[in-house]
Structure 1
Amino acid sequence: MRISRRILATAATAAVLLPLSACGSGSGDSSSSDSSGKVQGDISFQTWNLRANFKSYFEGLIADFEKKYPGTHVKWIDQPAEGYADKISADAAAGTLPDVVNVSPDLAAPLAKAGLALDLDKDKAAAKYKSEYLPGAWAGNEIPGLPGTYAFPWYLNTGPLFYNKALFKEAGLNADQPPKTYAALFTDALQIAHKTDGKVATLANVPTIEDFGRYGVELMNKQGTAFAFNDAKGVELLTKYKQLFDAKALDPQALTATPESSGQKFLTGAVAMNPGSALDLHNFKTQAPTLYKNIGITDQITNTGHVNMYVMGLLVNSRSKEKPAAVAFAHFITDAQNQMSFAKKVAIFPSTAGSLEDPYFTKEDGTDETRVRVAAAKSLKTAVNYTPVLFSDQMKTALRNEVAKALQGKESPKAALDNAVKACNQLLQQG
């Protein structure tokens, strides 16, 4: 797991290419045994770039687990962020995959398909813990095309949407009623662009696969075998973005925007809305006091009523020789008490049911951190992971390229999405 400014925003970008013939049947069948039984023996636990900042925390957790279950021993392995996906792939191929592995959903998918990830829904000892987690978090570790769930939900993240109240007021909009749906967003964005003669855009980024999900588009077919975001609703969304782009309600440089460049646009008042974090709010306070005084915080725009969340999990190796201990340890790390403890050390959110009701996530104390934390925690209670588990970096690039063609008028929105879906489906078959 990467702990950084964009915690989890890029954690699921690495792709794992497993030689399935070397790993297993490829059927996703991990029903070889039931992990019920005495919790004992030696297990290995692999994390993703955590030792440098959280060494004492995890050593303490391991000691507590070993004390709770005499006769167990946990070997902690921490891998660097660089090459983490390749390391998992190599271990899977060599049969040396650790007993418990820190994964994002896209890293779990090929392991599940290769039969190396324990299906928690099928395993009696693991399934009993399902009710302890938020439904959306548990579902975040489902794999399209396979029945079951393949990792314990660990921590979650999301971010609020910031908006400039002064720009809304100047455009004749109610600054205390920011848009909640895409229809309202498009209406407000066009009004802001019109009132400022195109000098102020509302958005600085082109639509991503998450936007299509939040718009209500069915991203894949029910079988999880093909992408489907080129349906009528998907075309409708891209057509609306084309209208924004032509009216300069979408920043002209959105085609090449980065999170940093979008943030700078918002900082200088060239853009009226932008996603962010507590760190951004602090920067507004120090670098743009006028903006800070006029800052509004709202939920992500959605037609579904559910914001997007990023999910991290702990996968149990289905071939672990000490499966009862591996399941018990994965649950121990992700139980409510330990997730809450971890959440207070770094700006993430627990995936356990009821944890977000804790005053830590519901009470503001006047600081920037709590303003954002409370807003994000509230939205997470019903959030979902809109990024398809099988949507790779190459697919993201294919979609972005076709969206750019549509916005520039080189292709119709329908043709652009047809081409994007075709490219993504070809990549899906190759994977």
Structure 2
Amino acid sequence: MRAVPRRATAAIAVTLASALFLTACGSGGGDDSTSAEGKVEGNITFQTWNLQANFKDYFNGLIKEFEKEHPGTKVKWIDQPAEAYAEKISAGAAGGTLPDVVNVSPDLVAPLAKAGLALDLDKAAGKYEKEYLPGAWASHQVPGLDGTYAFPWYLNTGPLFYNKSLFKKAGLNENKPPRTYDELFTASLEIAEKSKGEVATLANVPSIEDFGRYGVRTMNKEGTEFTFNEPKGVELLERYVELYKAKALDSQALSATPESAGKKFLTQSVAMNPGSALDLAKFEKEAPGLYKNIGITDMVTNTGKNNMYVMGVMVNAKSERKPAAVAFAHFVTDKKHQEEFARKVAIFPSTKGSLDDPYYTKQDGTDGTRVRVAAAQSLKEAVNYTPVLLSDQMKKELQNAVARALQGKESPKAALDGAVEACNQLLQQS
């Protein structure tokens, strides 16, 4: 399944942006015909992202239920593999064959909205906004455009694991993990000092999500330039440089992957790491000493809001059957069906009230429930900190800038200034 990972979803391929530019250059943000009023009828197509292999029966049943509720409709389901999904959307956009209803992530919907191919739901289906968590509804809004361009669907977020034993050895309260970045930096330096540099607290360099959680404005409201080099962003990177020099940030953090960071945590050479219920099972099997000392907490944030990874369902603004397309997109993402789908896999519904269900609030002693409850509660007020216009290439520019600063090749300010300049140039090119 194409569930949302801890990092942001795959950014759009250059071919997608190019095809949309050639197809709809100058069309602006959205189709003039945004009305979804009218009889729900006719044949529509529905495209998902690598879901058929594991959820064929669920979606076939969902479609059958919709068609029964709306006689005269017929839904054709198309499932695309995870590989080259952006290119598939590109081909549909360029060839005028984009399905009526499309499974998208925020970064995929942005160029479609700019090209006038994503229906503005604020205009066409604004009555449904109240059904969804505010942060989820806002996740498919595009800087520089007015409107919301996809129904929020399923959510995910990662709880933060920490090693209580390592905290206790450093003289810290193992039952009060850091909640803010100031607390995190203080604890990290203390652990490094007490362990004589043998134990780092973190295994990863800061990503754009860290800048967002730190309280940095990462992009201007108009969506015309990135701003993560503002003083607060420089301050964050300066703090990470301090950690790196003190060995409070793992020496291999510059080349770390989720897998390598997880291994560091498993061997108890790192005190904190994001994870999932699958990791808990692994700890119990491979590192029982770690498992018995596992603490679970929210991701560190200065804003009081965790990061939200989100998938959405977009309606093609050029659909000839908008009433049916909007009705089906809402049907897929309404409270009843989101809750049903979320019980089948480790994801979370984006509808209001769903996360208050005992399934997401009551502990039963199992590892899966421990993580599910911790993650679900943080999602109620979570936001997507990754700008929808930030591509993989832009993320690489930021990553390289962070590396230069940590290695002492550039000051944090110079490194971030360079990254912002490069990202803004890429933004203009797209």
TM-score w.r.t. length of structure 2? 0.98
Structure 2 match to 1:11? 9
Residues 8, 311 of structure 1: 8 Å contact kept = no
1:93-108 to 2 correspondences below 5 Å: 93-108=94-109
Query: Using the alignment, how far apart are the partners of 2:34 and 2:252 within structure 1?
Result: 54
Q: Residues 373 and 79 (structure 1 numbering): CA distance in 2 closer, same or farther, change over 3 Å?
A: same
1:328 and 1:304 mapped to 2: Cα distance?
36
What are the within-5 Å matches in structure 2 for residues 272-351 of structure 1?
272-351=271-350
**Do 1:31 and 1:118's aligned partners in 2 also have CA atoms closer than 8 Å?**
no
Which residue of the partner structure matches residue 242 of structure 2?
243
Residue 61 of structure 1 aligns with which residue?
Answer: 62
Calculate percent identity across the aligned residue pairs: 70
Alpha-carbon displacement from aligned partner over 1:119-148 (angstroms, at most 9, x marks no partner): 00011xx11100000000000000011000
Q: Any idea what the Cα deviations from partners look like across 1:137-166, whole Å, max 9, x if unmatched?
A: 000000011000000000000010000000
Contact 2:144 2:222 (C-alpha < 8 Å) held by counterparts = yes
Distance 1:325 1:271 in 2: 52
Residue 162 of structure 1 aligns with an amino acid whose one-letter code is F
For 1:80-99, list aligned pairs within 5 A. Answer: 80-99=81-100
Residue 8 of structure 1, CA deviation:
6.3
**Residue in 1 that maps onto 2:360:** 361
Is the Cα–Cα contact under 8 Å of residues 99 and 326 in structure 1 kept in the other structure? yes
Q: The residue matched to 1:58 in structure 2 has which SS?
A: helix
Inter-CA distance 138–33: structure 2 relative to 1 (3 Å threshold)? closer
**Maintained 8 Å contact 2:11/2:390:** no
* 1:2 equivalenced with 2:28 (yes/no): no
How many residue pairs get aligned? The number is 427
Matched, 1:117 2:98: no
Query: Aligned letter for 1:79?
Result: Q
**Counterpart for residue 417 of structure 2:** 418
- Per the TM alignment, residue 364 of structure 1 is displaced from its structure 2 partner at its CA by 1.1
- Name the amino acid aligned to 2:79: D
CA distance, structure 1, for counterparts of residue 92 and residue 420 of structure 2: 32
Contact persistence 1:12–1:105 (CA under 8 A): no
C-alpha distance in 2, partners of 1:64/1:19? Answer: 34
Contact kept, 8 Å, 1:31 with 1:122, in 2: the verdict is no
The answer to whether the Cα contact below 8 Å between 2:163 and 2:271 also exists between their aligned partners in 1 is: yes
| Shift of residue 328, structure 1, vs aligned partner | 0.3
Could you say which residue in structure 1 is the equivalent of 2:224?
Answer: 225
AA aligned opposite 2:306: V
Conserved 8 A contact 2:202-2:270: yes
Note if contact 2:8-2:386 (Cα within 8 Å) is conserved in structure 1.
Answer: no
| CA distance, structure 2, for counterparts of residue 287 and residue 299 of structure 1 | 24
TM-score normalised per structure 1: 0.98
The equivalent of 1:184 in structure 2 is 183
Distance of 1:376 and 1:269 partners within structure 2: 23
Specify every segment of 5 or more residues in structure 2 that has no aligned partner in the other structure, as ranges.
none
Aligned partner of residue 121 in structure 1, secondary structure: helix
Distance, in Å, in 1 between the alignment partners of 2:221 and 2:114 is 17
Q: Distance in 1 between matches of 2:25 and 2:403?
A: 40
- Residue aligning to 1:29: 30
Distance 1:256 1:8, change over 3 A: closer
Q: Is the 8 A contact 2:315 2:329 kept in 1?
A: yes
- State whether structure 2 residue 396 is matched by structure 1 residue 401: no
Partner letter of residue 10 of structure 2? A
Q: How does 1:361-380 map to 2 (within 5 A)?
A: 361-380=360-379
Q: After the TM superposition, which residues 89-168 of structure 1 pair with which residues of structure 2 at under 5 Å, given as runs?
A: 89-123=90-124, 126-168=125-167
Report the Cα distance in structure 1 between the residues aligned to 2:228 and 2:316, rounded to whole angstroms.
33
Shift of 1:29: 2.6
RMSD after superposition: 1.1
Per-residue CA distance 1:49-96 (angstroms, 9 max, x = gap): 111110000000000000000000000001111111001011101111
Amino acid at match of 1:39: V
Q: Which one is further off, 212-221 or 15-24?
A: 15-24
CA–CA distance in structure 2, aligned partners of residues 369 and 83 of structure 1:
32
Stretches of 4+ aligned residues off by more than 4 angstroms: none
- The superposition leaves residues 309-357 of structure 1 with CA deviations (integer Å, 9 ceiling, x where unpaired) of 1010000001111100000000000000100000000000000000000
Q: Equivalent residue of 2:121, what SS?
A: coil
SS in 1 for 2:75: strand
Say if 2:67 and 2:75, in contact at 8 Å, map to a contact too. yes
Contact preservation (8 Å) 2:170, 2:190: yes
After superposition, give the CA deviation of every residue in 1:193-242 in whole Å (9 maximum; x if it has no partner): 00000000000000000000000000011211000010110000000000
Shift of the 254–285 alpha-carbon distance from structure 1 to 2, 3 Å rule, reads same
Contact 1:399 1:417 in 2 (8 A): yes
